Structure 1
Amino acid sequence: MRKTNWLLLALVLVLSSFLAACSGGSSGSGGDGGSGDSAEGSANGDQVFNLEEASDIPSMDPQISTDTVGSQWITETYEGLYRMKDGEIAEGIATGDPEVSEDALTWTFNLREDAKWSNGEPVTAHDFVYAWQRAVNPDTKSEYGPYLMGGIIKNADAIAKGESDVSELGVKADGDYKLVVELEKPVPYFQSLTTNSTFFPVYQDFVEEQGDQFALEADNMISNGPFKMTEWNHGSSFKFVKNEDYWDAETVQLEEINVQIVKDAATAVNLYDTGKLDRTPISAEFVNERINDIGFQQYLEAGPWYLKLNQERNGEKTPLANINVRKAIAQAIDKKGLVDVVLNNGSTEINGLIPKDFYTSEDGEDFREASGDYLSYNVDEAKKAWETAKEELGTDEVTVEILTGDTTTSTNMVDYFQEQLETNLDGLTVKTLKVPFQQRLELDTSEDYDIEVAGWNPDYVDPYTFLSMFETEGENNHMNYSSEAYDTAVERSVNENALDPEARWNDALEAEKILLEDAAIAPIYQDGRSYLISPKVKNVYKNQTGSRWEYKWAYADNAAAENAQ
């Protein structure tokens, strides 16, 4: 799409915003569709939610999954030591808080004795031991296991590198219902970390019986969470029903969750309007015309989005290996135009990695405000860096490719990036590659791209969940960035300064500064989401970490939907 098209779209949206404001309705933010605290009414009528996802689930294996879609539905079908409820840690298979030794290296979790798998077998500490060992076993090829457990649980690194046996992992069962974990170092966020799906238990006999087919079909799954998967039509839909064997089944009121895969935003809105979906995110072109709908809601996520600038591809240096190329690209995109016009969904521009309203100092200062702005939109600075880059590269013509997804929003975004970069950086040609989510993951892992549109949802509430990604040996670096100074600051925050909050705060500030002054990534925006949510949807809790939604406590108030019509 060329520049004139974006200007036309901007004018249309400004006009529709004006008309919406003149109508006198509310902004639509808030409401009770996604918050348990404000929900009213009661469960009545069919306890069924009809939802959508833009992508299929790559895998339902807790130790293999790395994506947000998989994490969402694994969290509903499995249960770890704890689960998230409205951003707070709630009991799962563990009862009460863990017992932590004085040196903060030994954590003991007491497990409930009434938890069962969907085949009727008890959930025990042995299931956690097997799952955690499996997560760091090189044969499993788990990305998250070594990433989340390495350097944290005793011997996890050595096992992941094939230097020690899985039996040496610092996790043991003290009987059937007590789990004892030994850490390499104090980890203040470890309890929060256990809510991540990588730490969920799996039933050894079933996993080994299924072999390499485990968790790839509904029939190849076993559950210990509130729901279980009963249908998985790859590429089109999947279905979950209440798990009657769940230890807290009395709390679960939903009987069924049906999920359609809908990539086209207009199609999703039509399905919502015709009552075939109870919730759908809406893209820019629908926000202003639907902002006064009773079902309109908007949320700011804790997920930053950025361009990953890969410095080496298939063994060859890319143009992104040049720091001035990276600085030019990072400063040549009008981020405000992106969030206001292209996204128009509640997202906000960001000039750093750590999102706002995510992490605060002991005296309540927000990290984003304390760290300040890096690589802000500045065409003059971008052009200056670009001319220097071309001199250093010895060419006036540079071509790069941007990798992204194939959804409507992804397509609109990458077209915008292409227009901005080619307009502001003379001699730059931008190609785009729009692929399904699973293929994008594969290209990312194999580092077979130049620039990738990427985002990250935090795994736990701590800056390390973001900063650790870009360490030289980070499991999710995948862009050939390396800085000794950055590695030192990040590692210091979780080693010698682990129990010193003020020192950790300063380490994180220093690390982010190094990362952005190196222009290792180009920060773009902090994710916001606009939704149409049926008034019948109640008590769906919203989380910052792990799965975006929590359905254990949800219910359908069909009378509320009828009254709203």
Structure 2
Amino acid sequence: MKIWKLVVLSMVLIVGMTGCNFSSSAPSADTGSNTSKNSDKASNEGTITVYDTNEIRTMVQWAASDSNSFTILNNVSEGLYRLNAKHEPEPALAESYKVSDDKLTYTFTLRKDLKWSNGTPLTAKDFVYAWLKQMSVDATNGYSFIMTDYIVNGAEYLDNKADAASVGVKAINDTTLEVKLKQPTPYFVRLTVLPMFFPLNEEFVKSQGDQYGLKAENMIYCGPYVLATYDPASGSTLKKNDSYWDAANVKVPNVSVRIIKDQATALNAYKSGQLSRVTLSSSDVPSMKSNPEFNSTSEFRTTYIQYNLKDNALTNKNIRLALGYAIDRVTLADKILGDGSAPAPGLIANSMYGDGTKSFRDLNGNLTTFDAAKAKEYWDKGTAELGKAPSLTLLTEDDSVTKTVATYVQDQFKQVLGVDVKIDSKTKKAKNQLMDDNNYQMAITAWGADYDDAMTYLDLWTNGTPYRGNYTSETYNGLIADAKQQKDDAKRLQDMLDAEKTLLTDDAVVSPLFYRGFAYLTKPNVENLVTHPFGTPIEFKYASLK
């Protein structure tokens, strides 16, 4: 797997307002609708304070690979485009772009008079330098592919088979950036919101040498905030960047990001007015749902059952269909998890981009549903074809959430199908190894979106690997191949809609379970503290204080 897909999409987005800290210890018993005597406080002296459960690993852009680093980078810098409060890309350092008729050349026009926080002009050359850095051996974050997969000669440059001048990213002048792609990529602009695409000032970076990114003063900034203090172990403070092109619309002057590793400690800090937002453990959710400060949301991350199509029992399509129909996903998401997770009626998460008017999920409808009668019908057909009821084992990870989900699914199989399915609980590493080694029948696993396009999920099942159930289909692969080279957006979308139906309905390769979510409390005087369901986790730019 590619590292970006391993990290971003196993991101728990835990910046004190995101994440699924299901296994955290429960807080003290005084958690009711009245969370705090200071419940109306959200900040001190114009400051929003949030938290992360892990240390900030690095502020070096080409080395960063964790969600807490992305949180800081996303707020002290930005790219050509930035996600808005509706999670859609909008012009940021670029004011516009044009695409050639063959959809292979993007020409971005930067805003005039952009400046770094030290007063240095920000130009198209800063993007060229940063992108080449990300496509070179200097990049240690494992994300080079996010550019080399798309940009002409990017992969060759990484392999020292092409020089910088031949790579498809060029500064035509100070305000014009030209990007040449290998194939049509309708979501390319949505990629530019990610930290790997942010600009870097070559002169400044080189002047700092190996000290770059180690301290606040070893960096310069082009985002809505600058780092005032930076301590990887204890947290960071940010202050408004007066040199930012849109500084007039940045309403909160100061942000504090603390490191608090224990969820109960974080909740107590929130209750005493020290935090603006806190993530709840699932055990806290029932007592907090009536609190007016309570909210929840789901991410672009799908947990599903992967069937091994080379297993003697699960090679039978009717058995796979029966197992899929036997699961009540609404009860699983709403009652068993109850943390903001949503039932998964398909592989592609709710609200992911579709045609610009409707989401992909709305366009393709509910492909996975609970139907006990159909489940029993398919089970009887399958067992008749096999000659007997199969013995089944469900492979899972050993974290508390997955164990809970597995136990629920096991009970559903027993209640609906009358079958006793064993649970094999392993560490994440051991589970992944068993799947890679083709040593499993079916497993609970998950995938989260790298970018806001269905292809981030759908191209996973084209390679026929054991981890993807040894699935091979000329029909499916043909749909994905056509979608990747398709220049007609409507035809490309139809290819992907058909591909999801082929995967789930026609071939029953996976059974989606839920879209991961989280529940949280936010102080009542904090508004528009935006949490994105994919990519960079949190936006301070749009926040305000009453």
Aligned to 2:295: 297
How far 1:172 moved relative to its partner? 0.3
**Unaligned stretches of 5+ in structure 2?**
1-31, 34-38
Letter in 1 for 2:230: E
Give the 5 Å matches for 1:213-292: 221-229=219-227, 230-234=229-233, 237-262=235-260, 265-292=263-290
CA offset at residue 532 of structure 1? 1.2
Partners of 2:212 and 2:313 in 1: CA distance? 39
Distance 2:207 2:380 in 1: 57
Distance 1:523 1:158, change over 3 A: farther
Superposition map of 1:288-437 within 5 A: 288-299=286-297, 301=298, 303-307=300-304, 309=306, 333-361=327-355, 364=357, 366-377=359-370, 381=375, 401-403=395-397, 411-418=400-407, 420-421=409-410, 424=413, 428-433=421-426
Partners of 2:84 and 2:375 lie apart in 1 by 44
Match of 2:475? 485
Give the distance between the partners of 1:239 and 1:481, measured in 2 at CA: 48
Q: What code does the residue aligned with 2:524 have?
A: P
Check conservation: 1:305, 1:523, Cα contact below 8 A. Answer: yes
Q: Deviations over 1:523-559 (max 9, x none)?
A: 12134443211122124345455334321132333xx
Q: Of the candidates 441, 463, 467, which is equivalent to residue 454 of structure 2?
A: 463
Matched with 2:92 is: 92
Q: Could you state the TM-score of these two structures normalised by the residue count of structure 1?
A: 0.72
> Is the Cα–Cα contact under 8 Å of residues 329 and 382 in structure 1 kept in the other structure?
no
Whether contact under 8 Å (1:403, 1:432) holds in the other structure is yes
> 2: distance between equivalents of 1:514 and 1:248?
46
Per-residue CA distance 1:12-37 (angstroms, 9 max, x = gap):
xxxxxxxx9xx9xxxxxxxxx9xxxx
Would you say 1:508 and 2:496 are equivalent positions?
yes
Q: Match of 1:104, as an amino acid?
A: K
> Which amino acid in the other structure matches residue 81 of structure 1?
L
* 2:181 aligned with 1:183: yes
Secondary structure in 1 matching 2:401: helix
Residue 491 and residue 349 in structure 1: after superposition, are their counterparts in 2 closer, same or farther (change >3 A)?
A: same
Percent identical pairs in the alignment equals 30
**1:108 deviation in Å?**
2.0
Give the Cα separation in 2 of the matches to 1:479 and 1:258: 45
Partner of 1:201: 199
- 1:454 aligned residue (446, 451, 463): 446
Cα 1:189–1:420, aligned 2, differ >3 Å: closer, same or farther?
A: closer
Q: How far is the alpha carbon of 1:78 from its aligned partner?
A: 1.5
* RMSD (CA atoms): 4.5
Conserved 8 A contact 1:63-1:199: no
Match of 1:495 among 479, 482, 485: 485
Contact 1:349 1:526 in 2 (8 A): yes
Larger CA deviation: 75-84 vs 61-70: 61-70
Q: Deviations over 1:105-154 (max 9, x none)?
A: 3322222353333454332212211222233335535544324551x322
Q: TM-score, normalised by structure 2?
A: 0.74
Contact 1:99–1:107 (8 Å) recurs in 2: yes
Q: CA deviation at 1:484?
A: 4.5
Distance 1:550 1:511, change over 3 A: same
Contact 2:306/2:445 (8 A) holds in 1: no
Q: Distance in 1 between matches of 2:483 and 2:151?
A: 17
Q: Does 1:546 align with 2:545?
A: no
Correspondence for 1:83: 82
Taking a change above 3 Å as real, the CA distance of residues 556 and 370 of structure 1, as seen in their structure-2 partners, is closer
Alignment partner, residue 52 of structure 2: 53
5+ residue gaps, structure 1? 1-19, 24-32, 34-42, 558-565
SS of residue in 1 equivalent to 2:144? helix
**Cα–Cα, structure 1 residues 44 and 161, in superposed 2: closer, same or farther, change >3 Å?**
closer
Query: In structure 1, what is the equivalent of residue 24 of structure 2?
Result: none
- The equivalent residue for 1:121 is 120
What's the offset of the Cα at 1:91?
3.1
Relative distance call for 1:214 and 1:323 in structure 2 (3 A) is farther
Secondary structure in 1 matching 2:498: helix
CA distance in 2, matches of 1:417, 1:262: 30
> How many Å apart are 1:512 and its aligned residue?
1.0
